[in-house]
Amino acid sequence: MKHGFLLLAMAFSLLSCTYSQSTKKTAMDTNDKKNPVYSNSDSGKVNLTDAEWKKILPENVYYIARQKGTESPWSSKYEDSKEVGTYYCAACGNALFKSDTKFESGCGWPSFYQPISKGSIIYQPDHSHGMDRTEVQCGRCKAHLGHVFDDGPPPTGLRYCINGVILDFKKAQEAEEKYKKDTKQ
């Protein structure tokens, strides 16, 4: 009798283990898939086909980056984050924005007034949805990031309205350590 219970308990724990593994797989985490182009230090341009991106990006990142999707407003944990560090492209690791150029725009998406460098971002005219807007893309992999508007604060007067899903944040200290490690190799 005691033995039977033990077996049952074991079967249950095995079941719950497979269950938690399968939910983990569908969880949208950048670490779930292998991304061979991701690098915080390589500035070489990335040119992959749509099918290749689909293979290496988590579903939600693929939707924003390659299908020019838009996340729901107020859905990003970065929207009101005031942590000090650097925001990278979640698709390729390219540095995009520094936290000291982030501001509270009230628009529901993480907002910045200036990219980290001129080449970090590409600008494309966007006439979709009956609007005249300027789309911003990652300068390294051309992932769709969001749009830039001219109603931002000084000194630039610009508002880079960016989908949080496509941002990968690293705290200042972590980023510095990683940079040191990467350049040593």
Which of 94, 120, 137, 163 lies at the binding interface for Zn ion (CB under 5 A)?
94
Residue 137 beta carbon to Zn ion: minimum distance, rounded to whole angstroms = 8
Contact between 92 and Zn ion by CB under 5 A: the answer reads yes
Q: How far is the CB of 136 from Zn ion (least distance, A)?
A: 11
CB 18 to Zn ion: min, Å: 35
37 touches Zn ion (CB under 5 A):
no
Question: What is the Cα–Cα distance from 152 to 1, expressed in whole angstroms?
Answer: 71
Is 143 among the residues that bind Zn ion (CB under 5 A)?
A: yes
Annotated binding site for Zn(2+): 89, 92, 138, 141
Binding residue positions? 89, 92, 138, 141
Question: Which lies closer to Zn ion via its Cβ, residue 134 or residue 153?
Answer: 134
- Can 107 be counted among the known catalytic residues? no
Strands (DSSP E) contained in the chain are: 85-89, 95-98, 102-103, 111-112, 121-126, 133-138, 144-149, 159-162, 167-171
Active-site entry in 61, 96, 161, 165: 161
Integer Cα distance of 106 and 26 in angstroms: 31
x/- contact string, 121-140, with Zn ion (CB under 5 A)? -----------------x-x
Beta-bridge partners for 72: none
Cα pseudo-dihedral 30, 36, 39, 42, rounded to 10: -160
Nearest distance in Å: CB 149, Zn ion = 21
Q: How many CB atoms lie within 10 A of CB 111?
A: 24
* Residues touching Zn ion, count (CB under 5 A): 8
**Degrees, nearest 5: CA angle 155-110-33:** 130
* Helix then strand then coil, % of the chain, to nearest 5: 35, 20, 45
Residues recognised as catalytic: 161
Residues in contact with Zn ion by CB under 5 A are 89, 91-92, 94, 138, 140-141, 143
